[in-house]
Amino acid sequence: MSDSQSMEVMISAAGVPPEELQEALQNYYLDQFDLPKFEVKLPEAGYRDLTGMDSSVLVALVSVGGTALGALLTGLLKIAQGRNAAKIVIQGKSGRRLEIPADTPVQTMDELLSKVKLIDSPDNGQEDRSV
């Protein structure tokens, strides 16, 4: 997978250690073919931990054109719903954020994917977006 076809996604959740989040996502993906590659590491410079709690984050390397990004978002929504979370927040390297209510129907995944893919686009002039 080349850099132009992949996206690095940093994931943190309030009160959930990255290793636990990785295990929950991997359990969700047991029947998926296009698995994201996961790694736990310290946040990159300029990345603001949205939870303010974890010193490390879960990083997923996903294919932008394949099914891995959609599967990752679906998995995160399912985990958020299972933990009664209000929303998931996706923040790009630019600091722009996309807030997605945890009760968002999976049927809207195509719309979510298009917004996530554009989060760090230089043409995207809005700072915060909500679904």
Q: Which two tokens stand for residue 129?
A: 């977006």
Give per-residue pLDDT as tens, 31-44.
Answer: 665 667 888 887 76
* 3, pLDDT greater than 50: no
- What separation, in Å, do the N-terminal and C-terminal C-alpha atoms of the chain show? 29
Range 6-33 average pLDDT: 79
Residue spans per domain, the chain: 3-130
Residue 119 dihedral angles phi and psi, to the nearest 5°: -60, -35
* pTM exceeding 0.85: no
User: Taking the CA of residue 15 as centre, how many other CA atoms within 13 Å lie in the half-sphere pointing to its CB?
Assistant: 4
For residue 114, with 0-12 CB atoms within 10 Å meaning exposed, 13-18 middle and 19 or more buried, which class applies? exposed
Give per-residue pLDDT as tens, 48-99.
Answer: 555 555 567 888 887 766 677 788 888 888 888 888 888 888 877 777 888 8
Tell me which residue of 89, 96, 90 sits closest to 121, measured CA to CA.
96
pLDDT band at 113 (very low <50, low <70, confident <90, very high): confident
Dihedral angle computed from the Cα positions of residues 72, 111, 9 and 55, in that order, rounded to the nearest 10 degrees: -90
